[in-house]
């Protein structure tokens, strides 16, 4: 269909020229005794002129009018002895140009108006689609909010029986000897209660996150504290921790929340290297941002979860909750930053955190110094 339309557009100028030639041949092949027929043929020129003007605008109308006038001139020369007839024909050729120009201008204006209307309609359609998408998202968000509040209330109530189960198991331990064949079931109960309590705690942190308390904090202290916390687990997993931190100003952040984020990334990196490896934590300044990088030499990021890595309940661990990275993403967002993950160039995974330095005391002091110096 597109090829046929293109072929028709390519042939249109030739059809216009052919129609002008045919009309002119009618003039030449009709005796001058039939003035009425000549008058009719002369009016036929307006058809290709108007069509050319409508199709190609001002330029097309003028070209068709000029070609019609030039090709008609030899016929006019044959009747120069009839002065009245000749003047009438000259006036007619001038009218060719007027009709071609006016029709071309009107056609061009109509075409521009049509394009504006189409553009406006497209913009209105896009606005409507965006509005509809926004309304759908708001409805989904409201539904999720209601479900989140209800789930948080249910999870909160679960903690009470979990505490009772753990207390009962600990009470039974005092009367059941460790060498008893049923004692191992008490250990299973306690272990599963601890796992469920951890899941409940993470869910509550995700469903009801507290607002960060932004205080000036040295990034080096946060990173060193988290590395110290994860040091024992790294040693047991035969993972070497490497820390490279530049001389950085204090950054406005919630120290406990940032420790939670970094500890989650480091522990994930350690678990990704069951046979040992190397985990590197770098921190430096890039422009007006603090950039913290956690890089491991593990298996890399599973392709099936790469695009939804920071979504809730997405995990590749057999006993994982899928909330750790979702909580980290939310906490970093609350700090006005962003977090991203990708496969390392050689192997393993790289997690990067960007935090703004513009609100830090050091950045503010530096900005003041720059203003004074300038």
**Cα separation, 291 vs 45, whole angstroms:** 75
- Strand runs labelled E in 297-343: 338-343
Predicted confidence at residue 365, as pLDDT, reads 41
Predicted confidence at residue 46, as pLDDT, reads 83
**Cα separation, 268 vs 281, whole angstroms:** 13
Predicted confidence at residue 204, as pLDDT, reads 63
Predicted confidence at residue 362, as pLDDT, reads 45
Mean pLDDT per 10-residue segment, the chain (374 residues) = 61 79 78 70 81 82 83 68 66 81 86 89 89 78 61 65 78 74 76 75 64 88 90 90 89 90 90 90 90 90 78 66 79 90 81 81 40 34
**Phi/psi of residue 281, nearest 5 degrees:** -115, 115
Bridge partner list, 281: 243, 294
Predicted confidence at residue 337, as pLDDT, reads 92
Predicted confidence at residue 205, as pLDDT, reads 62
Q: What is the 3-state secondary structure (H, E, C) of 26-53?
A: HHHCCCCCCHHHHHHHHHHCHHHHHHHH
The bridge status of strand 349-356 relative to strand 289-296 is antiparallel
3-state secondary structure of 266: helix
Give 120-141 as a DSSP string.
HHHHHHHHHHHHHHHHHHHHHH
Predicted confidence at residue 284, as pLDDT, reads 92
Predicted confidence at residue 293, as pLDDT, reads 93
Give ranges for CATH 3.30.565.10 in the chain: 215-364
**Cα separation, 272 vs 266, whole angstroms:** 10
**Cα separation, 341 vs 189, whole angstroms:** 36
CATH of domain 215-364: 3.30.565.10
Spatial strand order of the sheet with 239-245 comes to 239-245, 277-286, 289-296, 349-356, 338-343
Predicted confidence at residue 372, as pLDDT, reads 32
């Amino acid at each position: 269909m597109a090829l046929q339309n293109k072929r028709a557009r390519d042939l249109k100028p030739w059809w216009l020229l052919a129609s002008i030639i045919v009309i002119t041949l009618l003039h030449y092949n009709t005796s001058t005794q039939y003035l009425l027929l000549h008058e009719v043929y002369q009016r036929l020129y307006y058809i290709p002129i108007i069509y050319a003007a409508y199709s190609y605008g001002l330029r097309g109308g003028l070209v068709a009018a000029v070609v019609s006038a030039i090709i008609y001139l030899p016929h006019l020369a044959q009747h120069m002895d009839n002065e009245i007839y000749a003047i009438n024909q000259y006036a007619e050729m001038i009218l060719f140009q007027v009709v071609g120009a006016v029709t071309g201008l009107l056609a061009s204006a109509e075409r521009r108006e049509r394009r504006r209307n189409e553009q406006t309609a497209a913009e209105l359609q896009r606005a409507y689609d965006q509005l509809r998408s926004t309304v759908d998202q708001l409805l989904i968000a409201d539904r999720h909010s209601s479900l989140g509040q209800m789930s948080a209330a249910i999870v909160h109530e679960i903690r009470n029986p979990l505490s009772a189960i753990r207390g009962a198991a600990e009470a039974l331990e005092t009367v059941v000897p460790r060498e008893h064949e049923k004692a191992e079931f008490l250990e299973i109960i306690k272990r599963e209660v601890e796992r469920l309590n951890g899941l409940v705690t993470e869910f509550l942190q995700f469903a009801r996150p507290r607002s960060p308390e932004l205080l000036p904090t040295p990034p080096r202290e946060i990173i060193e504290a988290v590395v110290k916390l994860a040091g024992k687990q790294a040693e047991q997993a035969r993972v070497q921790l490497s820390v490279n931190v530049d001389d950085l100003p204090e950054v406005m952040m919630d120290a406990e929340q940032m420790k939670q984020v970094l500890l989650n990334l480091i522990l994930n990196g350690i678990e990704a290297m069951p046979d040992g490896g190397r985990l590197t934590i770098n921190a430096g300044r890039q422009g007006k941002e603090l950039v913290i990088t956690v890089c491991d030499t593990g298996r890399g990021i599973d392709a099936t979860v790469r695009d939804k890595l920071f979504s809730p309940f997405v995990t590749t661990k057999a006993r994982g909750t899928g909330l750790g990275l979702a909580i980290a993403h939310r906490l970093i967002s609350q700090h006005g930053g962003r977090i991203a993950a990708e496969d390392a160039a050689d192997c393993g995974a790289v997690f990067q955190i960007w935090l703004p330095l513009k609100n830090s005391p050091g950045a503010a002091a530096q900005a003041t110094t720059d203003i004074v110096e300038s």
